Chain A
């Protein structure tokens, strides 16, 4: 019968690379019995011997909280492997050695440590004395660079020697503080006369019992009986009370300290290389003060780039649509059809579509920032601020998603367990400007603020985010109260963007804009054209659009806006881009819009569009994820907030003579 080699290790340590290097093409993939965990097996032939190599699932510990851990643990515990190759990542020793200690604690003596990525560790200033490490751990340690195939032959040799029983190993066992050790001895004594002593390592069973491991508790119950087990568990509870922490955390923590002590004896960090460029960048980009300044700086440059390259293209497209309309008008004899096509569809959809270059460039810039890894840093800076305003930890992802689209962002709140967290996140979510509102902001900033478009766009984003934070604080204090849940963010590495991915992603996102223009915006433009052309032509005050707008005009006047803004905002509820198309239909061209409004009015309109009622799809998502009460509350509070901000901005602007 073939001897079995098990590969055990954390995920992403190069286990698969080593498995492939050992087995070549002689592989078979199946499932572990009874579970849907992938089981990879292969044949290793070396020095005239054949071995069955089993790749165990990637795991971080043997606590058996997941199926992967349970599968790996059972395999090792049953002694199914003649040799266990524990693959560890030399660049993250402590977490990798945690699993090593768990394996050695089982009492296994047939373990080889495959120290992979040794080259990368050296580059990062982590110098490992392999010989010393071998002495300390009492098992063979083989340094590897599996990617380049360096060390694979040495590993194969050691596997053969270990399988033949030619390697004498005396593995180190983790030690805990006296109180824990006393408990371990106490449990070991209780188990010594049972059958368990013949089949299991008693120290390992004792440690797992202390950690309240379900599988071990059931096992001990069968052999020791309920009374004796209750007595042991009573002891454990007393120890936990003294530590004020659960036993599994105490043991894991002490194991970590044990590893840390060991590492001081065989690992040396060279200071210069210890702090990478990435660390230095992170220190600046995630700094509480510089991080915020960097965030505004980056977004200012982002909008600057978008407007600098996008506006000339937008103007060209706008001109093209306008010329097309002028050319097409005489070709259509029917007056109604001409009005519908030229004044409705081309003016409405064209005014929105002319913003395609800006939208594409914005998505391109965002994709680059995401790929580089900056967006995660920006999100970290925002998270720190969000936390201060009472937003729950889990709300972080839904709020970040909202910058793309509020609908999936509202849906993402279902990952929040507490109702309080879910409701607060859902309520403030629509205040985060989505990509649709970005088109309106870009339109108004581009048309009314030549030279300062970027600053205007950033200021509107800043106001919206600030209000989202303020409302979160208000809601968490006065509307829905509860406990806050702490959390932490692990940042991705900085990477050179893949241009193919960046362009593909930008195009995918921009396609949505075109699709929307061809569906919702087109339909909206037709309706707006009808309302502004019937029963009489716009301008006489008798069109449906003017009558509808006139109803809201007294209220809009408080914000310095007129009936046209009222109608635009009403249609914007269907889709925010309709605000632009409505203006396009009513005025016909961007130049006429610029002549009809002052920059202050345009700024107020941009603010109000960003803050007022969410689009109909978002309202539906809020209702679906909560109830009508909260959906209605969202609409009402956002109208109130947009009104207050609009009236304030207008009056302050007028007072300042803007």
Chain B
């Protein structure tokens, strides 16, 4: 199941599409993302607060950055050679 989910992510499928294709609730697909992240197959991409701390416009900007509330996971490794 995790392998299939990883493969579907590589194919560019969304959480909803994976949920439909595997007939499992969206929450379970999101859960699988967290497992794959904990195993080092996915990486959560974050803007992070450090970005604001080092921004040269910090003095005049109390925070005009767009607030993206979702989570973005990037595929880090997928095959045997990469894993080793």
Contact = CB atoms under 8 A, between A and B. Distances in A.
Nearest to A62: B38
A396 B47 contact: no
Interface string A479-518: 0000001111111100000000000010011011001100
Interface centre among B25, B34, B38 (most CB of A within 10 A): B38
A370 interface: yes
A241 B80 contact: yes
A77 interface: no
A63 interface: yes
A375 B39 contact: no
B62 A393 contact: no
A95 B55 contact: no
A486 B57 contact: no
Contact of B71 (A257, A485, A490): A490
Interface in A361-392: 366-367, 370, 373, 375-376, 379-380, 384, 387
A486 B12 contact: yes
Contacts of B25: 126, 269, 274
A407 B84 CA distance: 38
A405 B61 contact: yes
Interface string A61-93: 101011001000000000000000000000111
Contacts, number: 215
B72 to A, nearest CB: 5
Contact of A66 (B14, B38, B56): B38
Given A94-B24, A279-B16, A375 B68 contact: yes
A546 B33 CA distance: 60
Contact of B15 (A397, A405, A490): A490
Which of A398, A404, A489 counts the most chain B CB atoms within 10 A? Answer: A489
Given A375-B69, A401-B47, A509-B64, A246 B16 contact: no
A490 B31 contact: no
Contacts of B41: 249
A61 B51 contact: no
A412 interface: yes
Contacts of A21: none
Interface string B1-28: 1111010011111111000000011111
A250 B63 contact: no
Nearest to B24: A94
B69 to A, nearest CB: 4
A257 B1 contact: yes
Q: Quick one: which of B32, B34, B65 has the most chain A CB within 10 A? A: B65
Nearest to B39: A63
B79 A244 contact: yes
A566 B35 CA distance: 56
A96 B31 contact: yes
Interface of A (DSSP majority class): helix
Contact of A515 (B11, B27, B60, B72): B60
A345 B39 CA distance: 59
Interface in A196-215: 212
A63 B38 contact: yes
B83 A491 contact: no
A607 B56 CA distance: 27
Given A380-B14, A400-B68, A512 B74 contact: no
A375 B66 contact: yes
A295 to B, nearest CB: 15
Interface residues of B, number: 63
A243 B30 CA distance: 25
B9 A486 contact: yes
A375 B65 CA distance: 13
A403 interface: yes
A404 B80 CA distance: 41
A415 interface: yes
Contacts of A252: 2, 35, 39
Contacts of A60: 34-35, 37-38
Contacts of B10: 486
Most chain B CB atoms below 10 A, which of A61, A66, A94, A509: A94
A488 B45 CA distance: 10
Contacts of B54: 411
Contact of A435 (B64, B74, B78): B64
Contacts of B68: 375-376, 379, 397, 400-401
Contacts of B65: 401, 404-405, 408-409
B59 to A, nearest CB: 9
A537 interface: no
Contacts of B15: 488-491
Given A260-B1, A397-B68, A246 B80 contact: yes
30 contacts: A60-B35, A94-B32, A249-B83, A252-B2, A252-B39, A256-B32, A256-B35, A367-B67, A370-B66, A375-B66, A376-B69, A393-B75, A396-B45, A397-B47, A397-B68, A398-B47, A402-B66, A407-B55, A408-B47, A411-B55, A487-B45, A487-B73, A489-B14, A489-B72, A490-B33, A490-B70, A490-B72, A492-B69, A505-B67, A509-B62
6 A-B pairs with least C-beta separation: A95-B31, A246-B83, A376-B70, A256-B1, A253-B2, A60-B38
Interface of B: 1-4, 6, 9-16, 24-28, 30-35, 37-42, 45-48, 51-52, 54-57, 60-75, 77-80, 82-84
